[in-house]
Amino acid sequence: MTRRVTPILDHRDAERVFRELMNRRPAYLPEWTPGEGQPEWALLRIFARYMHAVIERLNEAPDKNLLAFLDMLGVNLIPAQAARAPVVFKPLPNFGNGQVAARTRLGAQVSGQSEPLVFETDSAIALAAARLVELKTLWPTRDEYADHTSEWAGRRPFTLFENRRPVPHEFYIAHETLLAFAGKSTVEIEFELSTPGREPLAILGVLGWSGVVVREFDSADESASQDGTHGLTRSGVITLRAECGQSEKTTVNGIEAFWVRGRLSRPLPPDPARVLAEIDRTRIRTAIDRELSQWISSEQKISGDLVVQHMLVLKERRKRAASQV
């Protein structure tokens, strides 16, 4: 909004009015030659001062007319209020959480004044001993956020909501035994919902770490991963099939374990009409296909130094017990 500036109707001051009177004098009174210090000179000075006073009142006419117009509309001036200013409190080192009581007095040093300008806090203020370590801005309607932590830590200027990225929507499941799989494996995660979702969620996949390759969801391919919950709109089983790789322990939120992670592929902006699923119980089952080779040999001498050995290759499919959470 542009601030309104009152127009100046006449820019002349007393000195300029006096010079104009002296310049016009020959045309009206050529025989009158007032000199500095004479009564005629003083009379012109007095007249110039009166003219300047009239010009000042004339320049105030627009504001006066505006006030009269606003008064006619019933718009009044805002009553006088106490001055307000933002104040930053910094706790002392090694100081715990605390509070600044309401109406706490503090002073502000003003240049040119020996006494400080005294203020009072409007309300109580909480002091936290915790330090700010991350600075992010969130755009809920677009389900996006921006991370300004590096700029803030380096004291560099930045623009809020710039360089946004999608907000990740993920869920994590950990188990020390059932998710410690390797090679060709099948993990079944059964979700029992207390409240089904109204619309299916676009689950991109449930993935492991450390080189485990999990096949993408494909309802037309029985050998691929399957989502039996239809995006958590019903109770069912999410089947994950890994072709190769070996899971290793990963630290998530300070917890070291074997993990799998599910992630949505589309944004999830807030919607009052949306009903999200609530999970009541989760079960995990793991099946590992592993080829075990075992040599079973028997020596049989036929003649001389000739020895015959027999080899038997065994295949075993192991299924680990289910875990319930």
Task: Parse the chain into domains and list their residue ranges.
Answer: 14-68, 136-166, 170-290
pLDDT bracket for residue 139 (50, 70, 90): very high
Bridge-based pairing of strands 213-214 and 144-147 is unpaired
Q: Is 153 helix (H, G, I), strand (E, B) or coil?
A: helix
Q: Cα(264)–Cα(200) distance, rounded to whole angstroms?
A: 11
How far apart (Å, rounded) are the C-alpha atoms in residues 284 and 263?
18
Q: What is the pLDDT of residue 111?
A: 85
Condensed to tens digits (0 to 9), the pLDDT of residues 149-195 reads 999 889 899 999 999 999 988 888 888 888 887 778 888 889 999 99
Q: Where are the alpha helices (DSSP H) in the chain?
A: 14-28, 39-59, 61-73, 149-153
pTM of the full structure = 0.52
Q: Which contiguous run of DSSP H or E holds residue 171?
A: strand 170-174
3-state helix, strand, coil in the chain (%, to 5): 20, 35, 50
Q: What sign results for the dihedral spanned by CA atoms 144, 150, 152, 157?
A: negative
